[in-house]
Structures are given as structure tokens and as C-alpha cells.
Structure 1
Amino acid sequence: MSSKNAPNHSSGELTPVKFSRLTRRGILLGFSVSQLVTLGVAVGALVWAFYAGGGILIAFTAPIWVSAAALTWIPIAGRALVEWIPVAFWWMWKSTGGQLLYRRRVVTPRPAGTLSLPGDMARLREYEDPVTGAGMVHDPAAGTLTAVLQVTHPAFVLLDPGEQERRVASWGRVLATVCRSGRISMLQILERTLPDTGTGLAEWWAAHGTQDDTWASTTYAELIDRAGPTGERHATTLSLSLDMRAASRQIRTAGGGVRGGAAVLRQEMSTLVAALRSADLAPSAWLNCGQIAVILRSAYDPAIAATLERHGELGQSLATAGPVAVNESWSGLRTDSAHHAVLWINEWPRSMVFPGFLAPVLLSSGIQRSFSLLCTPMRSDQAARDIRKKKTEYISDAHQRQRIGQIEDASQTAEFHDVLQQEADLTAGHGVLRYTGLISISASNTEELDASIAAIEQAAIQASCETRLLVGQQAQAFTAAALPLCRVI
């Protein structure tokens, strides 16, 4: 879905924002292409039977037009039955082709520079930028080059409303910066919960604590020892993906190939870092290949995350960062040491909400999860054409419904108002982005996973969001939700 950047207010009060609705408008009268095809089959069979032989042929062809009508109108999980046919066929193809299981070939060496990842991610290549030392991931098929940056920030919910409003406006300027160049294919914000080893808390106590034989000092030291292994911490990364096809001219000027792409991506990286600093965020150095490898390994094997954190020299190779085994099911994923499930935020808040509305989801404790926000920027000219097209389609559909006497639906009116609001925001100079929210939940067993899914779904309800479990595509969804590689579903 798409939304606008928050405008800059200086009144000191927190301003509520509103997201655009997920459009459910079809090609004609609310029907999608597949629904129109099945509806055409039903109408054609019924009309042919009526003119060819009347009642006998109508009864004889009933299985055809009744089945086609059922595929058109009967919904399952919010989608028409005919729209599930491609999903079911794709799942059957993967099941019969052995695509649901992945086992690493330990004896067979991998080509140099490739990532040891399952599925279509096996085509990814690593590249170390000689200027910045950043690790970049190249997707030759999609034509993208991705770099990862870790960001630290203060607790947003603890700030006063005036400071929250200022930071929201500053973040809006960061997103507007991403939209202007036209060379960025995606910006991914990934917020993860990681098991905390307690080393930071123990180091603080050793440096600032009063260690004597008093009751308070002894009790505090015992609490630190007990809380350390069971604690958790939050880590936020930003992944910037360059569209090498859109930047082909600049890449050729810089020398061509991945090296030229890295030179162009460095320009976008510098611009993003400057925008983040102006927004009072603290970006770290761009992650190298070893640090990216640790993130990938921790996502597939959460049990090893604490060990990798304690020993900085372990797991620093992208060639071995992938999983050893992956088993995909219809509604879940099993990797080395954990069970995973991915939820899709299919509806953002429909009413006005204040920034920080995702706090129930992001601050949920005791659940190992990754929240990924995929932001796809649109160029101003492309966004203007898309808005004009939507306006024309909405107006033509309204006239068609009026001709046949169909009542105007309130949701269709609200979607049209969203389009008008996007046009006004674009005219005012704001950037337009398409947001996709994914939540990856991990647990050591299926019972714990089910309980965590229920807790996250309840937290999403508190955040005025609606989530749905992605079925038939959990492996691909996991790579987009848990890995900082700007992957799409």
C-alpha cells in the first residue's frame, strides 16, 4: 500500500496520521481478471445452453456454469476461490519437484563469492566495497545491489509529544530523500529481537556499580546474573537497494559492472547517512560481509545467536552463513534450530492514529520476532501517472455502476478519497512510497510458535492493524521478513 511522508509541524503537538487503504478494486465492477474469466465461462455456457436446446442443455451444462460461478463468488480467507488456484498449483509443483526441502551439500564446495542460501537466493553474490569496506549483496537476476546499515535510536515512546513530532517530520524528510533520486529500488527497515547475553549489563555494573558486601550490592549483582541470559535486546538495520537498471547510465560512467554499481550506491549511501544524522539517528558504519553473515546465520539458527555475539570471530563468512536444512510447510517453516511463521500486515490503521501506534507489536516481550517494513519509492512522474490512472478507473467504474443501478460502496468511496489525498500530497512535494509490513515469528517448538503467533496477532489488533498468516509461500516470505536483503514476495 502507499502512504505519504508526514508533514512538518512546529506546533509542538503530536499530529495523527492516516494510511491509505489496501485497494480491493478489480478490473471491472470489482472483479479481478481471473474472476472475469470464470464469470465469462459461466455466462457463455449458460447462454449457449439456453439458445441451443433450452432446459435439457441448461441442466446438462449445469456442472460447468455452477462451478465457474462458485469459483467467481465463493470467498476463502478473504479471496475468491479462483484466486487460490495459482497458489495451489504452485504449491503442488514445489511439492512434486522437491522444492520444499533444502539440505546443504557439505562436501561439494560452493563457487567463490556466492551465498550459501536456499531457493532463488542461491544466485546472490557478495561484493566488498574497497572504498568503504561495506559488504554488498548483488542480485544479477533482479539487477539490484544492496548495502546494510545498523541504526541506534532513543526510545520513541519515552519522548515528549513535541520531540516525537519533530522526529516524525525528520524521518519524513529521510523518506523523501530516498524518493528523489529515482535509483533506489527499495528501503528495508528491519527491527529484530535478539537474545541478550547480559554482557552489556554486566560491564555497566562492573564500571559504575558499588561492589561491596552490603545487602543491596549483593542482591543487585545476583539479579544481573539471573537476568542476563534471559534478557533480549532490539537491533535495527536499514537496507538500501540500488536499481542497477534505472542507474545504468551512471554505472557505465563509473566503470560499469558491479564495481560501477558500487560507486553509484556509495553516493546514495552518503546521502542516506547525512539524512539520518539530521533526523537525530545514530547510524553505524556500513556492515561488512562478516557482519551481514552473522545476521543471516542468526535468523536461520537463533540458538547460535548468543554464541556468535560473544565470539566476534565466529560466523564471519557469507559462504557458510546459510542454513544447513530447511523444511517448508503450507503455513510454516522449519530451519536449523527453530520453527518460523510469517504474518503479513494486510490492513494498516483505517482511522487516524498517532506515530508510535506499532508499540504493542515492537515492544512485545518474550517473543523472538523480526518486523520488516519494505518501502518501495516511486518517482514523482511515475506516481503522478499511477494516480491519474487510478482516478480514471474509479470514475469510469462509478459511471458503470450507476448505469446498471449498482449501489456505491463506502469502501470504494474511501479508496477514491485516498487517491485524491495522495495526489494532493504529491503536489505539495511529499514522496510516495508503497509499504509492505511483514512479521517473522520464531520459536523452538510448534506449541511455543502457536502461542507467539496468537500474542502477536493480539498485539496487532491493539495497534489497529490486521494480520494474515501467509500460506503456501512461507520460505519466500521468511527471506523478506527476517533477512536484511531487500527481498520481495
Structure 2
Amino acid sequence: MTAQIVNDESSEWDGARFGREESTGVAFGMDMLQIVFLGVGMVIIVVCVVAGGFPGGLIAAALTAGVFGAIGIPRIFGKSLLTWVRVILSSQSRKRTGQNEYLPEESGVDVVVGDEGIELSPELEVIDPPRRSEDTGRDKKGRIKPLKPGRLLLPGEFSELLVYQMPGGAAFAYDPVAKEGIVVAQISTHKAFGLESFEDQETRLRAWAEAEATIAGIDGVLRVQMADQTTIASGSAVLDHYEQEISNAQTVVDPDTGETVEQAGEAIDPFLHQSLVDMLVAAEGRPVHGMWMAVVLSQTKLAKRIHSAGRGIRGFMETALVAMGAVESALPESGTEVVRWHSPRSLAALVRTAFDPAASVEISEREDGVDVGAAGPMWARDSLATFASEGAIHRTFKVSEFPRSQAQLGFLQNFIFSGDFRHTVSVYMKPRDIGKALKTNERSKATWTSNATLRDKLGKQTTLRHDRQLEDLSQEESELERGHAALKMTVMVTVSAFSEEEMDASVSQLKTAAARANCELRVMYGQQDSAFMAAATPLGRLNI
């Protein structure tokens, strides 16, 4: 007979839950557009009653009230019907004017758009501009010497991004319009969170919370994007990584032969080693997970520091180097570390594979990445529910509802490991000033109180959902008062496929994973281009 020991110790994460999607609105959960629309309806109703008399005026008023109420009151997927009408009309207008389709103007590549998509000319060769060997990145006084930047040829507003190379080889993407700088790190986790004990998971989560607070507290940080991308890498690339890990493994001296033996690969189990090698040699591509962290810095907020560091782009890069060091030192305690900061070419490779998933195998075999000028798509088209590029179609979702009951540690892994199909999960962290966050919380509470007073006067019954909103606001205030970092979190998921059938199958797996995580997914209708850029590319652009 065996006895099962149950751990009755309480956990600091007991009762942890996320607030519902905000629906307080201006009044009764309605936004300003709804209030204005219904206000216009009320004016028309009064005019009908006064001018039409009885019974014609009352009938006209009743019909007007029905029409305005049916259009102005309903909310679908968190948005009012009026907002959806505006989104659909905007999408149709862009389609009629051809603004939903993108062709690079400066690529120098001949393209022909036919009924089945796009055909590229076979003479596509992009060569990096030559750089002098004496370009060390700094002058004799130690100041950064910015080299000529490359331009990312991307759809719409994203084409303004310029990519510089900083001392040490890291890329610095600069947006001269938004006045933002972006640095991107390749990150890795050296522990398996799902295989650890609950106590160890708690420890890592506590360390990660501290790391988030530290990064959010770095001067000038606007947004942080943390992403995990399930992609396809060549079998040869995985084999090279495996052989490198063997060569880096610990060694021991065989007491019988006196030879030095590596404690990995064939020395441990020749059969399994050879089986893995044969499988990787035969495999064209295998699903792997790539992780990155994009840190977006504000040039405006860092103006004084940039001025003292050398002004202009030179001073901005010096400031970015300091922020990068702070990020590197904040992560290790949580089991996460910065492997490297992406160079311009490796950053361009990430962007390129986002638009062209079919090229993942080929690009993974290149050690030097992709030229910045060739990172963007040769063709892209935006529609109401999808974004298409280079023969692939993409659909982006937003996690609109997080677990409403007890949230399990690591629940987002259900999205990351939802299946062996191309998808990217991006978590955005937007720091907020604690004082401003508390004031926003107070205003939301005041709005809730006003709505509750109006509901009482009109005799409307209080619902549990309405009461839960106040609980969420009180919980947020309590957490801010306890010293938690004021962060606004957004989670986006992009699924990529090469046919509608493949897309439907992958989305079905994703929705099943969302149900297991007790979350709700929402398609970003009418915003697929911006949503794709936010979720699938490492540029930290959250413009939705």
C-alpha cells in the first residue's frame, strides 16, 4: 500500500485571475460613438412626436427608436455595431482604391500580378553595400560612427523604418516618424518550465515578475514584445546545432583507455545517436521554436540623455546600448537569457520569414541572414479577415479574454504548443506610470458608480458581470498599491498557411488550445495588416 501526500500549503498565486475585457464605456457600457448616435436618434424622435402629433408622430417615433436602438446599442465581439460598420466600409474603400495591395516601389524587381497571385522575375539578387574594413563602429574619441542605414521595404507606414548597425554588430531599427528605436534580442530558456515542480514554477514566475518590473522601469521603454515562433528549420541546421552541443558537452577520461570521452551523443547511446542523425539527414524541415524580445525606446522620453550622449542617432544608439545591458542583467534569474542581439541581417531574416514562411528552410541554412533591403514582401494584400504575402495567407487573433477563474501557471504554453503548424505568439508589455494608472483606475471607478446610479434610477437590474467589473477595478488598485508594476498586457497570435484548408485546420487546433487555456480568441477583422505586423514580425509595432 502506498500513501499519497497532499500538499495543503497555500500559494501566493491562489485566486490569481485576470480582469474581464473593459466594457465600462461612457454610460451603460456604450462608447462615445454609440452615445452620439443614440443622442441624434433621441432628437429625431422628439421632432417626430412634436411635428407629427398623434398617432402618426408616435408611430414614426417608435420606428425611429427601433432602428436607432437596433443599430446603436448592440456590441459584437467587444465592439459596437457602429464600429464594425466603420471597419467594414473602410476595408471596402481600401479594396476599391487598391490601397489594400502592396508592391515595393524601390526593389528593382519586375513583377507581374495575375489571377493566381504574383510572379517574380528570376533575376533577383541583392548584394550588401561594401563596407570598409576600418569601420570599427567608433571614432578615435570613442564616439559611435553611424554607418549608412538600410531601409526596410515594408507595407504602409512601416516602410519608414531605418536599420543601423551599432558597435558590436547589433541592429538598431529607427522610426523617424514615431521617434522610436527598436533593438531585438534572441532569447532562450535553459529550464523546462512545464517539467518543474510547482514550487520551482512559483520561484521562476516570481523572478519573471521582477524581471518584467525591472525592464518596465528602464528609462524610455515604451513597449516590450516577447514572442515565440513555431517555424520550420532545415534538418541540416538542427543537426549542426546537435553536433555543436555535443562538442560543448562535458568530457571525462575513460579509466580503461585513458581517452577523453564527451558525455553526449554517441558516447552515451550509439543507437539513439545514429537514429537521430539519420532522421535529421532525411528530414527536409522540422518544427522548431524561435524566441525573441523586442524593446522599443522613445526618443522623446530620452531626449536629455540622448543629448548628453552625443545627440542625434549617435546619442540614441549609445542610450540603447545602456538599455540593452539592463535587459541582459534582468533576465537570468527567471531562467531566461539573451543569446545575442540580432544584427541587421539576422533581423531582416526574421522579418523575411514572417512574410515568406516557405523560405524558412532556405534562410535557416544561411549563417549571414538576409540583406535589409530584401526583408520585405514582393507582394502583399490585406483583406477583412486575412493578410496574404508571398503565396502564404495569415490570420491574426487577439486574446480578448484571459482565464476568468483560477489562472494556471504557464497557461500560455497552450498557445505556443498548440500544434505543429506555423504560428507566432507575441506578448506585448506596455509600461505605465503608477500615478497615472491609479488616476485611470479612479476615473473608471467613478464611471462605474455613475452607471450604477443611472441603472438604479431607471430600475435596471444589476448583473453579475457589472459587479465583476468593480471587483476587477478594486483588484487592480490593490495590486498597484502593493507595488506591482503598472503594465498593460496584450497577446496576439498569427497563424500562417498556404491554403484555406490548411488555415482552417490550424485555426481549429488553435481554438482548441485556447479552450484548454480558458481564454477567448478574437479575429482582428479589418486590421489584419497591422495585427500581422504586431504579432508576426520582431518590430514591436502595436498599432491596433
User: Which shows bigger deviation, 413-422 or 247-256?
Assistant: 247-256
C-alpha displacement of 1:274: 0.5
Work out whether residues 196 and 306 of structure 1, in 8 Å CA contact, stay in contact via their aligned partners in 2. yes
Counterpart of 2:172, as a letter, is M
Q: Which has the higher contact order (CA 8 A, sep 6+)?
A: 1
1:203-235 deviations in whole A, cap 9, x for unaligned?
Answer: 447955449xx9877655544434x43421111
1:96 paired residue number: 96
Partner Cα distance (1:461, 1:425) in 2: 27
* Local SS of the residue matching 2:151: coil
1:145 paired residue number: 181
Work out whether residues 233 and 360 of structure 2, in 8 Å CA contact, stay in contact via their aligned partners in 1. no
Number of aligned residues:
474
Identity %: 26
Counterpart of 2:455, as a letter, is R
1:89-148 deviations in whole A, cap 9, x for unaligned?
Answer: 321331232111112233289996321111110111112223x43211111222211100
C-alpha displacement of 1:65: 4.1
* Local SS of the residue matching 1:459: helix
2:22 paired residue number: 23
Alignment of 1:30-429 (within 5 A): 30-54=29-53, 55-60=55-60, 64-105=64-105, 106-107=107-108, 113-130=150-167, 132-153=168-189, 154-199=191-236, 201-203=238-240, 204=242, 208-210=264-266, 221-226=277-282, 228-315=283-370, 317-429=371-483
Partner Cα distance (1:296, 1:247) in 2: 27
Structure 1 residues 427 and 290, CA gap change in structure 2 (3 angstroms) = same
Work out whether residues 24 and 30 of structure 1, in 8 Å CA contact, stay in contact via their aligned partners in 2. yes
Work out whether residues 149 and 164 of structure 2, in 8 Å CA contact, stay in contact via their aligned partners in 1. no
Work out whether residues 182 and 379 of structure 1, in 8 Å CA contact, stay in contact via their aligned partners in 2. no
C-alpha displacement of 1:265: 2.1
C-alpha displacement of 1:300: 0.6
Give unmatched runs, 5+ long, in structure 2: 1-8, 110-125, 130-147, 247-263
Work out whether residues 349 and 465 of structure 1, in 8 Å CA contact, stay in contact via their aligned partners in 2. yes
Counterpart of 2:71, as a letter, is L
Alignment of 1:416-455 (within 5 A): 416-455=470-509
Work out whether residues 12 and 161 of structure 1, in 8 Å CA contact, stay in contact via their aligned partners in 2. no
Counterpart of 2:292, as a letter, is T
* Local SS of the residue matching 2:234: coil
Partner Cα distance (1:268, 1:359) in 2: 28
Partner Cα distance (1:370, 1:340) in 2: 11
Whose Rg is larger? 2
Counterpart of 1:164, as a letter, is Q
1:7 paired residue number: none
User: Which shows bigger deviation, 265-274 or 79-88?
Assistant: 79-88
Counterpart of 2:85, as a letter, is I
Give unmatched runs, 5+ long, in structure 1: 1-10
Partner Cα distance (1:215, 1:282) in 2: 33
Partner Cα distance (2:271, 2:444) in 1: 69
Normalised by the size of structure 1, how large is the TM-score?
0.90
Aligned-CA RMSD value: 2.5
1:15-61 deviations in whole A, cap 9, x for unaligned?
Answer: 34311221111101222111111211222111111122213234456
Work out whether residues 125 and 138 of structure 1, in 8 Å CA contact, stay in contact via their aligned partners in 2. yes
Counterpart of 1:36, as a letter, is I
Structure 1 residues 205 and 289, CA gap change in structure 2 (3 angstroms) = closer
Counterpart of 1:482, as a letter, is A
2:525 paired residue number: 471
Counterpart of 1:35, as a letter, is Q
Counterpart of 2:300, as a letter, is R
